[in-house]
Amino acid sequence: MGFDRTRTDFWIRIASAILAVVGIGITTYLVYERFSGGLPTCVIGGGCSTVQKSEWSTVAGVPVALLGLIAYIVLLVCALTPWQISVLGAFFVSLLGVLLSSWLTALELFQIHAICEWCVSSAVVVLVSFGLSIARLVLFQRETAQGPPATP
Amino acid sequence: MSRNMIIAIVAAAVIVVGVVIGIQVNNNSSSGQSLPLSHFTADVPAVNALLKGIPQSGQVLGKPAAKITIDEYIDYKCPICGQASKTIMPQVITRYVRTGLAKIEIRPLAFIGPDSQTGALGGLAAGQQNRMWYYTELDLRNQGSEKDKWLTPAVAAEIAQAAGCDMAAWNDAFKGQEAVNSFFTIQNQAQTDAVSGTPTFVVHGPKGTDSFSGLVPISRFSQAFLTVAGVKA
């Protein structure tokens, strides 16, 4: 899958992959609860079920958690591949994630009046992923500008 | 990788998010929501869909001239009442109350804990604005644990707000004597009806009275209607 330890973005891609796996875990749990008819368990308070049952938890009938799961799978694929399209894809998807998470967190605070810890955790994961995607983009641009590394 | 390409990606992301937000806002503003949002908001659309268009007066849901009256004794903290609210009662309301055959009078008791009384007073205060059924359904669908003292005055106020109550009037009614008097009247009625648990249903009709309790199937209501009113429903 093109993991080259000598490349400058090696650790960024490793961290991105780990975060994507964490995000997949969170969203898989939420999707499972959604389709099994259950409600997610909150460690603090009972906001998770309120948010999950809210009319804001779907987009055109598609659960937001399912969209999140798809996004994290794409982020994982982008982290595991070295191509330019992966760099751009990670940047695009994580930016989408940050913008949508901001919107959904605002809804939780000001419209639903309940906080879902799983959703907040996912928001933090995607925010850090976005930061890493910017770092990877910058490194990729720098490497491209410098040309391929000279062979010894 | 040009700067223009990155700008195009950012623009595309903003457009996609704008479309998603637009879809959500459009769907949720056209869902016929007529109650304000609060912590109990999640079930507001479902409760609206269930109750909208059915007359409410005090504790009673349904047309005043309905042939059959169902007195439903509940405790706002009773988990079986919560289950009934999610399973049997929507069927009863849709089949029998909405059609005008029966009306239901909700009678809150305080079996489980002192905060059951808080919930009952909150419901009766909402009843003074003819919104007791919104309050009741939103409470029963969002109960905390039976063992916890979750039904505080603040939570009752949240439910009342979600139920669309005028909060200044509700606060006065919640602390007022009228709700307390109604509450004690109901406790006496429960003794007369020999209520020993919740939910208990006492069904009255022109031919008599039938009563049963617990999480019964809808057929038990049909049977009672036949007994008390000779109606096959």
- Please report residues of A whose CB lies closer than 8 A to that of B27: 55, 60
pLDDT at residue B184, rounded to an integer: 93
Residue A133: strand, helix, or coil: helix
- Whether residue A140 and residue B20 make contact (CB cut-off 8 A), yes or no, is no
| C-alpha span between B27 and B31 (Å, rounded) | 6
Show the tokens assigned to B118.
């808080």
ipTM of the complex: 0.84
DSSP A42: P
**CA–CA gap between residue B75 and residue B200 (Å, rounded):** 10
Residue B205 is classified by DSSP as E
The predicted-structure confidence for B157-170, as pLDDT tens digits, reads as follows 989 988 888 889 99
Region B191-217: what's the mean pLDDT? 93
Whether residue A38 has pLDDT greater than 60: yes
* Best CA proximity match to A52, nearest among A102, A101, A118: A118
Amino acid identity of A15?
A: A
Q: For residue A100, count other CB atoms closer than 10 A to its CB.
A: 22
CB A7 within 8 A of CB A82: yes
When mean pLDDT is compared across A6-15, A75-84, B185-194, B208-217, the lowest value belongs to A6-15
**Cβ distance of A114 and B28 shorter than 8 Å:** no
| CB contact (8 A) between residue B42 and residue A49 | yes
CB contact under 8 A, A92 and B6: no
Write the pLDDT tens digit of every residue in B9-38: 999 999 999 999 988 887 665 443 344 445
Of the candidates B23, B31, B42, the beta carbon closest to that of A50 is on B42
User: For residue B163, what are the contacts with CB-CB under 8 A and spacing of at least 6?
Assistant: B35, B40, B126, B131, B134, B135, B138
Q: How far apart are CA B9 and CA A150, in angstroms?
A: 31
